[in-house]
């Protein structure tokens, strides 16, 4: 399942299970989050992508971890990844963005196995 669809389904599931299963309308949820009902609908249908601030509002409203909006992956159960997430959880958004860019850079670099030129002057061939 595509990530946006997964997130949309989780939003719908939490909204419908709200209040012990009584559910909550898209309009009521939108009012609590200070967004339009159309926005909630489009999140649930994966037409709009909720940003990290939207997901934070949703997680606080439903009293759930923000991680519940993402599919479970084996890497999330790995000790070093969990330690990194715990260390980053209270960072300001701009620091989290920088950390994400660095992680993506390191992943791309590890995938590129081509030899790198050595620094300095090129040696003349004899």
How far, in Å, CA of 89 to CA of 100, rounded?
12
Query: Is 55 part of a structural domain of the chain?
Result: yes
Domain match, 48 and 87 both: no
CATH code at 32? 1.10.260.40
Contact at 8 Å (CB) between 16 and 44?
Answer: no
Count the helices and strands in the chain (H runs, E runs). 6, 0
| pLDDT 10s digits, 85-114 | 888 888 888 888 888 888 878 877 777 665
Domain match, 23 and 39 both: yes
Domain of residue 33, residue span: 3-69
Q: Work out how many domains the chain is built from and give that number.
A: 2
Domain match, 30 and 60 both: yes
Domain match, 8 and 54 both: yes
Domain match, 31 and 83 both: no
| pLDDT 10s digits, 22-75 | 889 999 999 999 999 999 999 999 999 999 999 999 999 999 888 888 887 655
Domain match, 78 and 65 both: no
């Amino acid at each position: 399942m595509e990530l946006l669809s997964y997130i949309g389904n989780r939003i719908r599931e939490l909204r419908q299970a709200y209040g012990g299963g009584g559910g909550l309308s898209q309009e009521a949820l939108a009012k609590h989050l200070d967004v339009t009902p159309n926005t909630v609908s489009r999140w649930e249908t994966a037409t709009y992508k909720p940003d990290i601030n939207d997901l934070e509002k949703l997680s606080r409203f439903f009293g759930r971890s923000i991680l519940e909006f993402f599919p479970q992956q084996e890497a999330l159960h790995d000790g070093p990844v969990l330690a990194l997430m715990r260390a980053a959880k209270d960072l300001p958004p701009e620091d989290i963005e920088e950390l994400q860019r660095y992680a993506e850079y390191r992943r791309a670099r590890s995938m590129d196995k081509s030899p790198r030129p050595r620094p300095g002057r090129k040696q003349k061939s004899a």
